[in-house]
């Protein structure tokens, strides 16, 4: 009977000891199975510093109980047991003593007391940990509410084209100042074009939110849907923009101390580079200077109707005729000449503008990787709805150009799930490869000028559906690639799909707030090995 009682007590101890792990596991499982707007990691539900303390105290209590029992085992025999005796001697005395029954009862009582003490300690610490858990949930909920309120105000400012009052949301830091400068600049630039959103709806998704020391860091994917007005016309546009927020509290008042927005990187990098070259300047002061220069340049240009008659490269209007194609084919008898289907390229871009194709990798700056996938689809590499065929095509480099020479990275055009070549993912390399192919080599072939020009000197009406527009800061500084979804008579009426940030049916003119130079690639029939 006493053995059964002992087993029951030990079983209770094991259950109590496992409660912290059960609490963590149960809450983590609940989060995994709950489709909530905010996902909070396990470490936010449970303070590990307290968990460690709890386990240490519990372990010490159990060890103390064991050692105390051993001591009591010996001192319960004052007539035979001496403090200098070994544990083996105590064991011998225990089983030989006439006081065996009373000793066992004494040990049982002592053990029960010590075990109950350990249970009490565990319960107190567990309650403390759960209280901390609730506090973390409260703090994270406050952080989420602040971020959502800020994004609501941010989207409203884009609709109204009025600067946002940041005082309710931001602490005064370099990061928040940079964000405010860039946002206010974009609002003023959009005002020049009379480009504004209407009926905008946002859906922030918290992909991660965690507490680090006295800060809360949250990663948010902001999906939006809106109508955008250009030249008196309304077009539906969709997008996904990645944000990272860092929040700090002062007297329980949480505000944003740092913020990053996808698409701001180049401005910030340019400001840092410029500041590093000049003494006595800061990133903020250099960013102000760069933005003011860009605004002054923009205000000097007309923004009512972007139709310009400036002559463009004559190759832009060149069309490959049959005799030329026959001549090239005779020199490449093992290659196929393949037409470029603009509709297939655009259909692919529609499918993956707001997501990624899992059969390909995702680049840090994914714009040209995405565009190359669209061009690959336009040349027949993509079979809509057939993932097996698409995987086989990618593995076989179908409608790509891949060779095993030592310079394959710079001279091939291909990609797969683990990476790709430079002409596939680099804006500059891609354009130089396609425009320099001259139609006689393997891989994509495009017509257009290799040198970018100021957008005001380019005839927007010559841009076609399925073309790739590359943008930069100067004639030889290409940084970004987009694919044309809808052609138009002016830049205001040309809509594109792109990555980084992810945009569907986005006005080309909105990119001019960052890039004032463009070059256009008109893809034409090209040679492929298969």
Express each pLDDT in 414-423 by its tens digit: 999 999 999 9
CATH fold group of domain 141-299: Nuclear Transport Factor 2; Chain: A, (3.10.450)
* In the chain, where the domains are located: 2-137, 141-299, 314-528
pLDDT tens per residue, range 156-177: 998 899 999 999 999 999 999 9
What φ, ψ does residue 252 adopt, rounded to 5°?
65, 15
List of E strands, 138-295: 196-212, 215-230, 233-250, 253-261
Helix (H) or strand (E) holding 520: strand 517-524
d(CA 468, CA 487) in angstroms, rounded, equals: 11
pLDDT computed for residue 6 by the predictor? 56
Average pLDDT of the chain is: 79
Least confident of 63-67, 433-437, 485-489: 63-67
Q: Is 481 helix (H, G, I), strand (E, B) or coil?
A: strand
Q: By percentage, how much of the chain surpasses pLDDT 90?
A: 49
- DSSP code per residue over 382-450: --TT-HHHHHHHHHTTTTSB---STTHHHH-B-EETTEE-HHHH-HHHHHHHHHHSTTTSBS-EEES-S
- The Cα angle at residue 377 between residues 373 and 383, in degrees rounded to 5: 120
Residue in 483, 456, 452, 453 with CA at minimum distance from that of residue 192? 456
Q: Is the whole model's pTM more than 0.85, yes or no? A: no
C-beta atoms surrounding 454 within 10 Å: 16
């Amino acid at each position: 009977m006493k053995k059964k009682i002992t087993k029951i007590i030990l079983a209770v101890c094991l259950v109590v000891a496992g409660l912290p792990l059960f609490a963590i596991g149960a809450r983590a499982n609940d989060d995994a199975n709950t489709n909530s707007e905010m996902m909070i990691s396990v470490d936010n539900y449970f303070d590990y510093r307290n968990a460690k303390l709890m386990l240490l105290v519990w372990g010490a209590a159990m060890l103390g109980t064991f050692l105390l029992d051993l001591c009591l085992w010996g001192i319960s025999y004052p007539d035979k047991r001496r403090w200098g005796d070994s544990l083996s001697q105590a064991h011998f005395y225990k089983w030989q003593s006439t006081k065996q029954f009373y000793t066992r009862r004494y040990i049982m009582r002592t053990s029960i007391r010590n075990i109950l003490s350990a249970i009490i300690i565990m319960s107190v610490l567990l309650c403390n940990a759960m209280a901390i858990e609730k506090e973390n949930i409260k703090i994270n909920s406050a952080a989420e509410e602040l971020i959502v309120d800020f994004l609501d105000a941010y989207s409203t400012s884009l609709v109204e084209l009025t600067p946002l009052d940041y005082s309710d949301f931001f602490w005064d830091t370099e990061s928040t100042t940079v964000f405010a400068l860039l946002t206010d600049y974009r609002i003023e630039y959009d005002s020049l074009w009379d480009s504004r959103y209407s009926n905008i709806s946002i859906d922030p998704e918290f992909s991660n939110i965690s507490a680090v020391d006295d800060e809360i860091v949250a990663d948010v994917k902001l999906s939006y849907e809106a109508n955008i007005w250009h030249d008196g016309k309304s077009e539906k546009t969709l997008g996904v923009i990645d944000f990272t927020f860092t929040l700090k509290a002062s007297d329980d008042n949480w505000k944003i101390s740092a913020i990053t927005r996808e698409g701001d990187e180049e401005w910030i990098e340019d400001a840092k580079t410029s500041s590093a070259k000049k003494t006595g300047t800061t990133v903020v002061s250099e960013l102000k200077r760069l933005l003011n220069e860009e605004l002054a340049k923009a205000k000097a240009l007309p923004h009512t109707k972007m139709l310009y008659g400036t002559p463009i490269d004559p190759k832009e209007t060149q069309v490959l005729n049959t005799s030329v194609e026959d001549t090239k084919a005779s020199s490449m008898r093992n290659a196929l000449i393949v037409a470029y289907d603009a509709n297939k390229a655009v259909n692919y871009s529609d499918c993956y503008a707001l997501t990624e194709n899992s059969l390909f990798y995702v680049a840090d700056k994914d714009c040209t990787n995405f565009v190359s996938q669209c061009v690959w689809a336009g040349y027949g590499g993509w079979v809509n709805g057939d993932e097996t065929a698409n995987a086989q095509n990618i593995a076989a480099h179908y409608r790509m150009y891949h060779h095993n020479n030592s310079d394959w990275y710079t001279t091939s055009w291909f990609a797969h799930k683990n990476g790709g070549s430079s002409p596939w993912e680099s804006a500059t390399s891609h354009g130089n490869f396609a425009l320099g192919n001259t139609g006689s080599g393997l891989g994509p072939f495009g017509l257009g000028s290799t040198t970018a020009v100021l957008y005001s000197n380019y005839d927007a009406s010559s841009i076609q559906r399925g073309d790739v527009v590359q943008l930069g800061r100067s004639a030889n500084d290409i940084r970004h690639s987009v694919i044309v979804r809808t052609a138009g008579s002016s830049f205001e009426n040309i809509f594109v799909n792109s990555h980084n940030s992810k945009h569907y049916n986005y006005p080309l003119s909105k990119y001019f707030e960052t890039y004032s130079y463009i070059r256009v690639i008109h893809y034409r029939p090209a040679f492929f090995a298969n």
